[in-house]
Chain A
Amino acid sequence: MEKVGAVLVVGAGIGGSQAALDLADSGYKVYLVESSTSIGGVMAQLDKTFPTNDCAICIVSPKLVEAGRHPNIEIKIKSEIMNVSGEVGNFNIDLMEHTLFIDQEKCTGCGICGQECPVEAIDLFNEGLSSNSATSVKYPQAVPLVYAINRDYCIGCGICKGVCQAKAIDYKLKSKKTQLKVGSVILALGFDEFEADVLKQYGYGKYKNVVSSIEFERILSASGPYSGHVLRSSDGNVPQKIAFLQCVGSRDPKFGKEYCSSVCCMYTAKEAVIAKEHTEGLEATIFSMDIRAYGKDFDKYIERAKEEYGVKYVRSRISSIEEIPGTKDLKLTYETEEGKIISEIFDMVILGVGLTPPKDASKIADTFDIDLNKYGFIKTQPLKPVETGRPGIYVCGACSSPKDIPETVIEASAAAGKVNIDLSPARGTLVTTKKYPDEIDVSGQPIRIGVFICHCGINIGGYVDVPAVVKYAETLPDVAYSERNLYTCSADTQSLIQEKIKEHKLNRVIVASCTPRTHEPLFQETIREIGLNKYLFQMTNIRDQCSWVHMREPEKATEKAKDLVRMAVAKVRLNTPLSTVPLKVNPSALIIGGGVAGMTAALNFSQQGFKIKLIEKDKKLGGFSSKIYKTIEGDDIQEFLQELINNVENEDLIDVYLGAEIQDIDGYVGNFKTTIIQDNSKKKLEIEHGIIIVATGAKEYIPKEYEYGVNPNVITQKELENRLFNKGNFSNIKSIVMIQCVGSRNEENPYCSRICCSEAIKNAIRLKEQYPDKEISILYRDIRTYGFKEKYYREAREKGILFIRYKKESPPELISNKERIKINLKNERLGDILLDSDLLVLSTGMIAPSKENETLAKLLKVPLNEDKFFLEAHVKLRPVDFATEGIFLCGTAHGPATIGESIAQANSAVSRATIILSKETLMIGGIVSSVDKDLCTGCKICVRICPFNAIIKDDEGYAYVQEALCKGCGVCGASCPEKAISIKHFTNEQILSEIYALGGNIIE
């Protein structure tokens, strides 16, 4: 049976949207199904994101808009999966599209219905902290921008139908059943927050000033219920003292959940920092157990929160909150690390609530016939992080375990990467490539501009005198035609615009309506369909930035609209057709590094039929994982690794180069040329390929501490593991001490190595199982068994393994190494402790091979972070891409990661790269910069300033723009001392014409 080249993605948060975009860009039809009325999920609700404090909506919104208008993505909002049958390659999906009572095709999102609706409803996007109408849109930037009637609140007054000029409202509109045929499925269901009212001791739901972290996120947001002012909901006052409680519902098997929710430590630190930015002098105190800042650059963020922002950390779990009658302040009683009991009054308490499985997880698992784990999340295996167990059905993001945004994005692409393996034979079969007529040659034609001015129902027309603006437009130079439309974006107006173009021989088109950020592509498409180059279009915003914001000054709004139209006319007169040209893509990959990540990536590519050159500096494949025997969950790594190596070696499409070193990398996306030498020989080998994946890995820190290398009874955790799994002799050993964070989280390596806590606990448990009488102590700073690994921390304690905490300032000291090893330790509560042991095990971190990475980074022209790990294009949303097109990264080259996480990153990088490799050609050109060689002096300012490495010096020493890499930001043009660079579609002449048009005279 032939495979279906379509994919169902269930859940349209950041994970689902990313998976959909990857697949749609790789030649598959995607159905993106969302249960609410808009895509974006929880990320759209967040104010800022850690550890960069990026504005969440700023970074996610362009992705949502892109998904919303992607020709290969069909978004199904307010929809539910009813039934699933079939198997990988051929699934039949029964879908129920619940009615919005508003026709999605006709609704323009103008919002009049919501404004006129007399019934208030709870605004769930603002977590119930504010209200909206019974007819509403989920949030202002919602995609798709379609209103819906909330039948729970609607009283059926019929007003909205009366005011809707687009005739979109239909109270009789029924929910409809649809059948979809798809080849694979990705579940990206997200998560729900832990409902803190279960924990009676915190008074959530009862005390007004106790709020959950997600509510606080909305309170912090500039577009939230209090417009970004931090206020107490009991009295509207600005809180001066806020307490943040960690592990609310997490690491609490009795009343909450056993597992760690992974993200709360970081989001709480972020919320405390942002709250302090909002309110000067605010005191923020975080009550936590361990601080689990285990991700890339997370520890630095915590340090900044403490040092720079003065956020106070108290290591204590609060047992209860007491509300002070009258003031509604909140009293917290806690024990300090020194053992003192303190009561403190706070104005507000934020509960760092954990992540739970989505409420409908079990229903969806039933529908798809897949398993949940014991916590109710979708079950996956540590070494198969995005597979559900049922072939063809994949999972990504927090619905399989708690995780943060970049991990979700990595898994989203990884799931897409797995779909690629299933469906590559069907790639391109269900996407329709639109046929356009040949472009009309407008060169030499007199300029004839058509101006279409939108009423947007009454949104513009109610405030701006649209007929007057139409009349005014007719007086402007080269305007051949002008008219007004009730809704310029409606389908019938598109045909009308095309008719007018023909009738009046228009060769430039202006639409004055809403924002080009969402609507420009629609109108560009309209004029392209009739043969005009899309850059002959110009849009001006007389709604969002005019009629809506000057409602009380209609005359001035009209004057402004005229000015804006005049500026658009001035600009469009200088618009020229821009062309894009195809660039042939070499459909093969170069993978640097033959560890688990590199090999996983290679096998994914080969299963799609792409050729791979895999280069490894060592004499054999395997990398870091060769020294690991089992995962903490019990998976056999050596067996897994051997199978991986066999598969790579037996695959014809993969050429492996061992003992290889890169000498030079030339070219750019689609066409790279790399020179390598093997085994230090003189012979150079040239490889041609379309993309590059960096999977160079990390290495183990070799300790200088604790007489390692001198005293044979001091070993590393890896060496212990080797002994444990190779029948080493432990007979003379009575007690074992393990020290965590050796060579990590210090001045030299100021980051957490992520895996050492779990590795130590894994080995300690195994030791205890084999030799129950041995005493084992683990000396730690914070135990970071994030996610489901928390279980093993608990198990270790239950098995009698002793955990003793030390502080960074007073690390354990080696007192005597005669006969037995003596360790002195300072603990806040227990005072000085002297530990005797026969074996000292050092949990050493991962470090970046700094010299090798620096060399490779220079060759690739990509950046490293302060710790010499490779730095991705965007910490949150482009975790496996480099800013330079066509180069990707995965595995521990990015930073410390588990094997499972490296596997996810590898499949993720492959998915990102497949977007390029799956195309025969890349279209380049459009809005890019270009250099006038006659003016260029070769000063190289542009070369250095371009963040995308798009500009190089050519053979003659002039700047040369590699259009495939240029993103059109224009910074080079504004910087060139000789003004030799011009930015197409945003040329100096075009912008100056707008300036002078505003100043009053259009320059000729």
Chain B
Amino acid sequence: MSFEPKILGFLCNWCSYAGADLAGVSRIQYPPNIRVIRVMCSGRVDPEFIFDGFEAGIDGIIVMGCHPGDCHYLEGNYEAEKKFNMVEKLLSFVDMNERIRLEWVSASEGNRFAEIVTEFTDKIKELGPSPVKDPSKANVLLKNINALKMSAVSYRLRALVGRERALTEQENIYGEKVSLERFNDVFENAIFDEYVRNRIVLSLKEDTKSVKDLAIELNMDPSKILSHILILKGRSQVSMDKIVGITPLYISTLEE
């Protein structure tokens, strides 16, 4: 049997859900793989939902909202885009960024809705089943996705993405507009750092490990691992368990 992916769509009530309805009224046929969750606004889609979706074994996730300027809630779709960009960056660390998509569909674009869904379904078929479902990869991958999710719900990333438009489109507290390059510089570093840190925390939850162990596991420079460990200690997420010989071993203090 050929692979039939499970695809999840988050559709905003006002434009894209109406566009999907119009595809129906017009009897435009598209692959039956998509299942839709209706939300009032694409801006309601919490980054967390995407990672939960992948953890639940979904193969591809598409978010659809109103075209820029058309949002029923004025600017919700712009917020959706910022959050989506963050999720996309995070997913690129596990090579799953092609499994998500953000599209604008209006209430009159039944055809466009069907085309996008068809094209996305084909894309996911081509990519094959989610690696989460591959027993040989699942163990590590689920840990990585969990680290991504923890990053997406972390205060730091949410605080940054929540302020992105205010800082880059209006002004900061000094009355200056922050350039997108400068913001992205700060933001992209934060995304990567938070991911690695969460990954370390999860790894240390399983077992006590040394900086060197972690460096091998995560394929990173030990000095970088050490600096992350120091920050995690500061956040009380990691503590030193014991020193074996000359090598300190660390443990996660994160509660279940």
Contacts of A941 in B (CB 8 A): 158-159, 162-163
Min CB distance B54 to A, Å, is 9
CA distance A525 to B55 in the complex (A): 37
Do B108 and A47 touch (CB < 8 A)? yes
Do B44 and A971 touch (CB < 8 A)? yes
Please choose the segment from A84-92, A155-163, A221-229, A266-274 that sits at the chain B interface, where 4 or more of its residues have CB less than 8 A away.
Answer: A221-229
Given the known A-B contacts A62-B14, A945-B162, are A991 and B109 also in contact in the complex, defined by CB atoms under 8 Å? no
Contacts of B83 in A (CB 8 A): 974-975
Given the known A-B contacts A57-B107, A57-B108, are A992 and B49 also in contact in the complex, defined by CB atoms under 8 Å? yes
CA distance A227 to B76 in the complex (A): 28
Residue of B nearest to A550 (CB): B32
- Select B36's contact among A541, A548, A551, beta carbons within 8 Å: A541
Please choose the segment from B62-70, B175-183, B197-205 that sits at the chain A interface, where 4 or more of its residues have CB less than 8 A away.
Answer: B62-70
The answer to whether B41 has its CB under 8 Å from any CB of chain A is: yes
Do A976 and B18 touch (CB < 8 A)? no
Contacts of B41 in A (CB 8 A): 969-971
- Select B20's contact among A545, A968, A999, beta carbons within 8 Å: A545
Contacts of A183 in B (CB 8 A): none
Contacts of A983 in B (CB 8 A): 44
Give the residues from 15 to 64 in chain B that come closer than 8 angstroms, CB to CB, to chain A.
15, 17-18, 20-32, 35-41, 43-49, 52-53, 55-58
Contacts of B161 in A (CB 8 A): 975
The answer to whether A724 has its CB under 8 Å from any CB of chain B is: no
The answer to whether A472 has its CB under 8 Å from any CB of chain B is: no
Binary interface encoding of chain A residues 37-60 relative to chain B, with 1 for a CB under 8 A from any of its CBs, else 0: 000000000010000111111110
Min CB distance B254 to A, Å, is 17
The answer to whether A335 has its CB under 8 Å from any CB of chain B is: no
Do A998 and B8 touch (CB < 8 A)? yes
Min CB distance A63 to B, Å, is 11
- Select A986's contact among B44, B72, B114, beta carbons within 8 Å: B44
Contacts of B39 in A (CB 8 A): 970, 986, 991
CA distance A544 to B31 in the complex (A): 14
Give the residues from 65 to 103 in chain B that come closer than 8 angstroms, CB to CB, to chain A.
66-67, 69-70, 72-76, 79, 83
The answer to whether B112 has its CB under 8 Å from any CB of chain A is: yes
Contacts of B49 in A (CB 8 A): 988, 991-992, 995
The answer to whether A563 has its CB under 8 Å from any CB of chain B is: yes
Contacts of B23 in A (CB 8 A): 544-545, 549
Contacts of A942 in B (CB 8 A): 162
Give the residues from 497 to 535 in chain A that come closer than 8 angstroms, CB to CB, to chain B.
515-517
Given the known A-B contacts A968-B40, A974-B43, are A55 and B20 also in contact in the complex, defined by CB atoms under 8 Å? no
Contacts of B166 in A (CB 8 A): 944-945
Binary interface encoding of chain B residues 121-163 relative to chain A, with 1 for a CB under 8 A from any of its CBs, else 0: 0000000000000000000000000000000011110110111
Given the known A-B contacts A549-B27, A549-B30, A550-B32, are A971 and B18 also in contact in the complex, defined by CB atoms under 8 Å? no
Do A141 and B18 touch (CB < 8 A)? yes
The answer to whether B111 has its CB under 8 Å from any CB of chain A is: yes
Do A977 and B155 touch (CB < 8 A)? yes
Do B70 and A58 touch (CB < 8 A)? yes
Residue of B nearest to A883 (CB): B74
Min CB distance B176 to A, Å, is 16
Residue of A nearest to B53 (CB): A995
Do B20 and A544 touch (CB < 8 A)? yes
Contacts of B70 in A (CB 8 A): 54-55, 58-59
Min CB distance A394 to B, Å, is 30
- Select B27's contact among A548, A564, A974, beta carbons within 8 Å: A548
Contacts of B44 in A (CB 8 A): 969-971, 973-974, 983, 986
Binary interface encoding of chain A residues 926-949 relative to chain B, with 1 for a CB under 8 A from any of its CBs, else 0: 010000000000010110110110
Given the known A-B contacts A59-B70, A545-B24, A998-B6, are A228 and B111 also in contact in the complex, defined by CB atoms under 8 Å? yes
The answer to whether B252 has its CB under 8 Å from any CB of chain A is: no
Contacts of A100 in B (CB 8 A): none
CA distance A57 to B21 in the complex (A): 13
Contacts of A973 in B (CB 8 A): 44, 46
Do B24 and A223 touch (CB < 8 A)? no
CA distance A557 to B75 in the complex (A): 35
Given the known A-B contacts A517-B17, A998-B56, are A977 and B40 also in contact in the complex, defined by CB atoms under 8 Å? no
Do B35 and A999 touch (CB < 8 A)? no
Binary interface encoding of chain A residues 981-993 relative to chain B, with 1 for a CB under 8 A from any of its CBs, else 0: 0010010100110
Do B108 and A58 touch (CB < 8 A)? yes
Do B25 and A140 touch (CB < 8 A)? yes
Do B153 and A223 touch (CB < 8 A)? no
- Select A977's contact among B37, B114, B162, beta carbons within 8 Å: B162
- Select A55's contact among B31, B67, B114, beta carbons within 8 Å: B67
Contacts of B29 in A (CB 8 A): 549-552
CA distance A32 to B30 in the complex (A): 38
Contacts of B109 in A (CB 8 A): 55, 222-223, 228
Min CB distance A655 to B, Å, is 35
Given the known A-B contacts A545-B20, A549-B27, A549-B29, are A969 and B110 also in contact in the complex, defined by CB atoms under 8 Å? no
Do A978 and B107 touch (CB < 8 A)? no
Given the known A-B contacts A549-B30, A970-B39, A975-B158, are A996 and B56 also in contact in the complex, defined by CB atoms under 8 Å? yes
Do A53 and B18 touch (CB < 8 A)? no
Min CB distance A775 to B, Å, is 49
The answer to whether A553 has its CB under 8 Å from any CB of chain B is: yes
CA distance A941 to B161 in the complex (A): 10
The answer to whether A567 has its CB under 8 Å from any CB of chain B is: yes
Do A970 and B27 touch (CB < 8 A)? no
Contacts of A331 in B (CB 8 A): none
Residue of A nearest to B114 (CB): A549
The answer to whether B210 has its CB under 8 Å from any CB of chain A is: no
Given the known A-B contacts A548-B27, A975-B158, are A560 and B35 also in contact in the complex, defined by CB atoms under 8 Å? yes
The answer to whether A713 has its CB under 8 Å from any CB of chain B is: no
CA distance A986 to B39 in the complex (A): 7
The answer to whether A921 has its CB under 8 Å from any CB of chain B is: no
CA distance A992 to B49 in the complex (A): 7
The answer to whether B239 has its CB under 8 Å from any CB of chain A is: no
Name 21 interchain pairs, CB-CB below 8 A, sorted by A: A58-B66, A61-B107, A141-B107, A223-B110, A548-B25, A549-B28, A549-B32, A550-B30, A550-B31, A556-B4, A556-B32, A563-B35, A939-B159, A947-B73, A968-B40, A969-B73, A971-B44, A971-B76, A975-B83, A988-B48, A998-B6
Measuring CB to CB, which residues of chain B are less than 8 angstroms from any residue of chain A? 4, 6, 8, 13-15, 17-18, 20-32, 35-41, 43-49, 52-53, 55-58, 66-67, 69-70, 72-76, 79, 83, 106-112, 114, 153-156, 158-159, 161-163, 165-166
Q: Known contacts A544-B25, A549-B23, A1001-B56; can you find 6 more A-B pairs with CB under 8 A?
A: A140-B22, A975-B158, A992-B49, A995-B58, A999-B53, A999-B57
